[in-house]
Every structure is written in structure tokens, then in C-alpha cells.
């Protein structure tokens, strides 16, 4: 068990929300999971070696609890899938960072943020902008 896994268990967040994430290993998987749905896609780039990632993941998962029916939530482990993270950066023209959130609507990046700006209130506001009236 990693340090961050132990820290998560101590914080009372033992129930892993990972089953709600779409885990990607290739960019083509993104199209397979969300093609034609019309839903916004929130991509969360995360590293298990990063304390900031640990804190921001919790904020993203709180947002996920509120929008799981109306938004696709995609998880990218940047340590195991660095090439995928780089490909996302190339295709969206958004520089790679970790932690990072990118929101796509109709295959176009409409929002991105990283590090301390990954907050529940900011993400809720940006998601609301992408949902139908």
C-alpha cells in the first residue's frame, strides 16, 4: 500500500470511486467511450506520486458524485500512461500538467485548469456552462 493509499484510508475515504472513472490507456479509447453521447467529458490527469494530485482527486470525485449522469469522467494516470497524456496535450493544444483537468465538449477543449485551481466550486461552474439549458 502506497503512502497516499494509507493517507486516503486515514482520511475516511476508503471507498474508492475508481469504478466510476473511465480509465484510458490510449486516446482512441476516449472516442470509444464517449462518441456521439453529446455529454461533456472531464479528463483528470493524476499521479499517485503527487501530494497535490491526492488533494485534487478528492475535489474531482465530489464533482463526479453530482454530475455522474450528465458528464463522462475520464482518469489518466500520467505515470503509467505518459504517452497518452502527451497525446491529449497535442490534440487539445493544452500543455501537459499534473494534476490537470480538461473539459471537452463536442471534441473541443472548452476549459482547463491545474494544481490549486482544481476546486469543486470552479469545476461545478464550468460543467454547468457546458450542460444544456
Domain of 109: which CATH number? 3.40.30.10
Give the position of cell 490507456.
Answer: 25
Mean residue pLDDT of the chain comes to 85
Is 6 inside any structural domain?
A: no
Structural domain total, the chain = 1
Asked, for residue 26, whether it belongs to a domain, the answer is yes
Q: Is residue 9 part of a domain?
A: no
Question: Which of helix, strand or coil describes residue 79?
Answer: coil
Length of the chain, in residues: 133
pLDDT tens for each residue of 61-116: 999 999 999 999 999 999 999 999 999 999 999 999 999 999 999 889 999 999 99
Instruction: Say what the pTM is.
Output: 0.84
Amino acid at each position: 500500500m502506497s503512502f497516499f493509499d494509507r493517507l486516503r484510508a486515514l482520511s475516511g475515504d476508503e471507498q474508492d470511486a475508481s469504478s466510476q472513472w473511465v480509465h484510458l490507456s490510449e486516446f482512441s479509447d476516449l472516442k470509444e467511450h464517449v462518441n456521439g453521447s453529446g455529454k461533456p467529458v472531464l479528463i483528470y490527469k493524476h499521479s499517485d506520486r503527487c501530494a497535490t494530485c491526492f488533494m485534487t482527486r478528492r475535489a474531482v470525485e465530489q464533482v463526479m458524485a453530482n454530475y455522474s449522469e450528465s458528464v463522462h469522467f475520464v482518469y489518466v494516470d500520467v505515470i503509467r500512461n505518459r504517452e497518452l497524456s502527451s497525446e491529449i496535450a497535442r490534440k487539445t493544444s493544452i500543455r501537459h500538467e499534473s494534476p490537470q483537468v480538461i473539459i471537452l465538449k463536442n471534441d473541443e477543449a472548452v476549459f482547463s485548469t491545474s494544481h490549486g485551481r482544481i476546486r469543486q466550486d470552479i469545476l461545478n461552474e464550468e460543467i454547468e456552462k457546458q450542460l444544456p439549458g
